[in-house]
Amino acid sequence: MSEDFLDPASIIKNHLDLKPGMTAADFGCGSGGWTIPMARILEGGKVYAIDIQDEPLSALRGKLRSLRIFNVETIRMDIEKTILRLMDNSVHFVLLSNVLFQTEDKIRTMEEAKRILRPDGRILVIDWEKNASVGPETRLSAEEVRSMADRIGLVFVEAFQAGGYHYGLVFKKAAL
């Protein structure tokens, strides 16, 4: 992996304990850069691929068909404004990759991730480094994300460099 770019498969393998049969949700999945590697690991489980735009979801559905991956359900919705139709405490893992910097209601987005997360489930936040030489104008520091997570009762697990321009933060939902 070039240190400049994200390598979803490597990050998932090295920083998460995903196993076949588990369930995951990919908030802001785009065309599936993270969804597909998760779906391959979670054989017998399920990945909910959620995005606000239909075009990337359509591209993802095409990729899934060609790769013969059948454990992904695509959902078109605005995660900030709509309650996801997944039950409380129902998924093992939630991914927010390059999502929080784009959302207006960051706390609401994180609360929805926490709501669907099982006790001891994990949330992985990947976002742009504040001082990266490329990327969007508006960014959140890792410290800001940690503060928001703390505010809603998530437990910090780990921080890591996720390529040359991104940080990774892992949180867990406390056991009931």
Question: How does pLDDT run across 20-37, given as a tens digit for each residue?
Answer: 999 999 999 999 999 999
pLDDT at 2 over 80: no
Name every residue whose Cβ is closer than 8 Å to that of residue 119 and which is 6 or more positions away in sequence.
89, 173, 174, 175, 176
Q: Within a domain: residue 3? A: no
For 121-153, how does the pLDDT look when each residue is reduced to its tens digit (9 = 90+)?
A: 999 999 998 888 887 788 999 999 999 999 999
- Asked, for residue 2, whether it belongs to a domain, the answer is no
- Domain containing residue 81: CATH number: 3.40.50.150
Tell me the residue ranges of DSSP E strands in the chain.
23-27, 46-51, 72-76, 91-97, 117-128, 154-161, 166-173
CA 164 to chain centre: 19
Q: What percent of the chain has pLDDT over 90?
A: 77
Instruction: Report CA torsion sign: 175, 167, 78, 91.
Output: negative
Task: For the chain, give the mean pLDDT.
Answer: 92
Number of domains in the chain: 1
Q: 160 by DSSP, 3-state: which?
A: strand
Of 69, 39, 35, which Cα lies nearest the Cα of 51?
35
Strands 23-27, 91-97: pairing is: parallel
Residue 16, domain member (yes or no): yes
How far is Cα of residue 49 from the mean position of the Cα atoms in its chain? 9
Mean pLDDT of 91-98: 96
Query: Does some domain include residue 39?
Result: yes
The predicted pLDDT at position 4 comes to: 61
